[in-house]
Amino acid sequence: MTDADTPIIYVVDDDDAMRDSLAFLIGSVGYACSCHPSAEDFLARHHPGRPGCLVADIRMPGMSGLDLQRALNERGTTLSIIFVTGHGDIPMAVRALRAGAIDFLEKPFNDQALLDRIGEAVRASREATLRQNRHAEIAQRLDGLTPRERAVLERVAGGKPNKVIAAELSISQKTVEVHRHNVMSKMGVRSAAELARLIAIKSP
Amino acid sequence: MRIVIAMIRHSILALIFLIGLTTVGLAAPTPADETARDVSIGVLAFRGGEDAEYAWGPTLRHLSATLPQYRFRLIPLGPEKLYDAVRDRQIDFLISNPGQYVEQEAAHGIARIATVAFEGGPLPSEAIGSTVFVRKDRMDLRQWSDLKGKRLIAVSPDLFGGFRIAWREFAEHGIDPLADMASLHFSGFPVKQLFDAVARGDADVGIARGCALEELAAKGSIDPSLFTVIAGHPMTGWGCVVSSRLYPDWPLAKLAHTSNTLARDVALALLSMPPGDHGQNWTIPVDYQSVHDLFRALKIGPYSHLRQGHLTETLRDYAPWLTLIAFGLVWGFVHYVRVRFLLKRRTEELNLAHSLAWRQRERMEHAARLSLMGEMASSLAHEISQPLAAIVNYAHGCQRRLEAASSMADMTASSTADMAVSAGKILAQAERASAIVHRMRDFVRKRPPAPFILDVGEVIDKTLDFFIPLIEKKRVSVHADLPPSLPPVCADRIQLEEVLLNLLQNAVEAVDGVPYGNVRIFANTDGKNVRIGVADNGTGLSGLTTEQMFEAFHTGKPQGLGLGLSLCRSIVEAHGGRIWAEAGVNGGMVMTFTLPIAEGESV
């Protein structure tokens, strides 16, 4: 596992003791922690793409936990978010969960519950990261195709025979075969079925 | 006060009385001048001028004949007039009974120059006695002790030969004729009435001058066999039976103002006087000590001050004044007691009211503090839950590390160090939570105010240290605008913090929902007061007037007792300051209060 694959737990809390103690607790089960005193600080230092979990206080001076969640969602984050709060604020919890938060924990919380949630969050984040990486790879491969090859790819993925494609694009069947070969090669697939699955992942 | 007025009034009356006396004295006839050769001889006469002339006519004629350079006049005087005449110097000489003489001697300094004597009569020093008589057939009345409680009759209380001499004898036998008799009647002259009254049985006991019985019997006015004399014994000379000891005969006395020359001339003339029709003449003055003894024994006349009844008599004489004074004293005392009582009661009432008001205020303050704490409860809960949550996290972290270490039967130096550090952090967080709890407890605890010299700036800083963490999540910016130094004030720290917290809390609530909530606390001074204000850019008055805001239980907040600002006002005013609200320049409210600068003190 490379450094980039190791999940990292981000703790964002304005309270120094809270932040430090959370890092200590989370560290006890072997996770790497990165602590930030504010949402702004976190956003400025965070490098997306690495799987992980964000444990954030929902109420903070300046940018709140929910603001941070919104900002991360806009950036297409793969981080899972767990909110912790000192106030049992149900409307806020509902908003947070709808916006994709894994959980909403009230302080002081059961350590096992937090660590379990962090475990879930890390798994989800890892999947999301893999998915995102795959998407990025597919998109990258797609970007390597010429417009003619894109047109052929769409029709191949749609299950159309070469003869039909040659007729639709008003090119020879031989030319379609060359394009099809290039597309398969560039996209790293060996069959039309594989190609179709790849495209499905890309546009769910 | 009334007593003083009464006394002043009394003094004025007394003064008027004195002036009156002096005026009378001045208006009285001047003493007869020797050169005018007018000499007045006052004579005690119970029965008027004729008797006096009869008794003393020979003496007057002898004096006139012997001393032609003087013109002698007899002036008959009743007992009262005699007093006046002596006092007012209307006469030069006085002939009176021994009793009157002794009294005037004491009162006005008259001096005897001769005593009456009778040829063939008793010794001049033993010439007067009293006869106490009863009906002879009253076998129950035989000695002095029998007379107690009986009906007594005499001529006059002023007569010496008669009542006064007998009085002493009664007294020596344990009887007070004024108090111990069934009745006491003074018949007046003539003396015969006495004997008639006793003979008739209208009275049980009679008192007469010695020899009166014999004289009346000789004239045939009474039947002497009807009467018996109590403790009777014969006088030498005349052989009259008397009941009493004997006293000197009448003196002739010069008044204090009478010249010695005149007195000597008169004395020599009197001594040279031959016995007249009744054998009456004059001898050298005898000793009147026995009369003094009588007066002293009876505590009357010059010795009346010895009398136990003296006080009673004084009281009777001065009854109106004494009543007035007594009334004044009683009134004064009652007034004093009443005033003391009222004062005590009012003081107690006042103290009670004061302590009630104080307790009331204390309760209100307490309620207000609780209310303020209630309003800040969720903030406080968060504030306390922070360190608690941190402690829980550290503890769980340690627990997990220990479990992991024991399962691996191994513990690295670094994890041991981690846990030591964490234990320290746990302690720090526990202290943090505990400090908040203490702070709250101090704040809501009932306590008497303790004013100290304070630096307002420092109190504001401390208050903000406490307050800002509580509202950190509220998106309100709170900042202080304080000069580098402020004059000291004398105030109770907790109460001052309470006012500040109330104003800050109100301001923060007022800006709730405002996009850029801003609360500014400022302080400055005008040289007499320190002025402290809290300004916000919030929603303003919330339907209350600035005056209503400071009244108890008026509140513009959905939750809250409305005690905060009324309490602020009571605290500020108790410190001698003032608190008011006004609209801010840029909207919102400015709450300002003043505290007087502590004089002559420095922080």
ipTM: 0.72
Of the residues A15, A24, A85, the best mutation for testing chain B's interface (the one with the most B CB atoms within 10 Å of its CB) is A24
- For B120, the token pair is 């063939």
Render pLDDT for B434-460 as a digit per residue (tens, 0 to 9). Answer: 888 887 777 676 666 678 888 999 999
Query: Which pLDDT value is given to residue B551?
Result: 60
Render pLDDT for B320-353 as a digit per residue (tens, 0 to 9). Answer: 777 788 788 888 888 888 888 888 888 887 877 7
Query: Which pLDDT value is given to residue B309?
Result: 52
Render pLDDT for B293-302 as a digit per residue (tens, 0 to 9). Answer: 888 888 777 7
Alpha helices in B408-485 (DSSP H): 413-444, 456-470
Count of all residues that appear for chain A in the document: 204
Taking an 8 Å cut-off on Cβ atoms, the answer to whether A61 and B386 are in contact is: no
Segment B421-445 shows an average pLDDT of 83
B526 pLDDT more than 80: yes
pLDDT category of residue B181 using cuts at 50, 70 and 90: confident
Render pLDDT for B67-83 as a digit per residue (tens, 0 to 9). Answer: 888 889 888 988 888 88
B9 pLDDT more than 50: no
B388 pLDDT more than 60: yes
Chain A residues close to B381, C-beta within 8 Å: 86-87
Q: In what order do the strands lie in the sheet with A52-57?
A: A32-36, A8-12, A52-57, A80-85, A103-106
Chain B residues close to A25, C-beta within 8 Å: 393-394, 396-397, 400
Q: Which of residues 396-435 of B touch A (CB under 8 A)?
A: 396-401, 404, 418, 422, 425, 428-429, 432
Any B CB within 8 A of A61 CB: yes
Query: Which pLDDT value is given to residue B18?
Result: 40
Chain A residues close to B473, C-beta within 8 Å: 59-61
pLDDT category of residue B308 using cuts at 50, 70 and 90: low
Taking an 8 Å cut-off on Cβ atoms, the answer to whether A109 and B429 are in contact is: no
Query: Which pLDDT value is given to residue B513?
Result: 77
Taking an 8 Å cut-off on Cβ atoms, the answer to whether B397 and A108 are in contact is: no
Question: What radius of gyration, in Å, describes the C-alpha atoms of chain A?
Answer: 23
Between helix B456-470 and helix B493-510 the angle, nearest 10°, is 50
CB-closest option in A17, A27, A109 to B386: A17
A169/chain B closest Cα distance in angstroms:
59
Q: What percent of chain B has pLDDT over 70?
A: 83
Looking at per-residue confidence, does B601 or B394 come out higher? B394
- The closest of A204, A80, A198, A72 to A134, measured between CA atoms, is A198
Inter-chain Cβ pairs, chain A and chain B, closer than 8 A = 79
Q: How many other CB atoms are found less than 10 A from the CB of residue B349?
A: 11
Any A CB within 8 A of B479 CB: no
B28 pLDDT more than 50: no
Q: Which amino acid is at B470?
A: L
Query: Which pLDDT value is given to residue B239?
Result: 81
pLDDT category of residue B543 using cuts at 50, 70 and 90: low
pLDDT category of residue B407 using cuts at 50, 70 and 90: low
Chain A residues close to B397, C-beta within 8 Å: 21, 24-28, 111
Render pLDDT for B458-475 as a digit per residue (tens, 0 to 9). Answer: 999 988 887 887 777 677
B30 pLDDT more than 70: no
H-helix or E-strand spanning residue B67? none
Segment B20-28 shows an average pLDDT of 38
Any B CB within 8 A of A89 CB: no
B132 pLDDT more than 60: yes
Query: Which pLDDT value is given to residue B555?
Result: 56
Residue B437 CA, distance from chain mean position: 61
Where does residue B152 rank: exposed (0-12), middle (13-18), buried (19+ CB within 10 A)?
buried
Chain A residues close to B393, C-beta within 8 Å: 18, 21-22, 24-25, 108, 111
B491/chain A closest Cα distance in angstroms:
34
Low-confidence stretches of chain A (pLDDT < 50) are 1, 204
Q: Which of residues 113-132 of A touch B (CB under 8 A)?
A: none
Looking at per-residue confidence, does A91 or B491 come out higher? B491
User: What pTM value is reported for the model?
Assistant: 0.42
Any A CB within 8 A of B8 CB: no
Query: Which pLDDT value is given to residue B6?
Result: 44
Query: Which pLDDT value is given to residue B94?
Result: 92
CB-closest option in B389, B397, B398 to A107: B389
Query: Which pLDDT value is given to residue B548?
Result: 63
Contact B38, B71 (CB under 8 A): yes
Query: Which pLDDT value is given to residue B29?
Result: 40
Query: Which pLDDT value is given to residue B161?
Result: 86
Q: What percent of chain B has pLDDT over 90?
A: 11
H-helix or E-strand spanning residue B209? strand B205-209
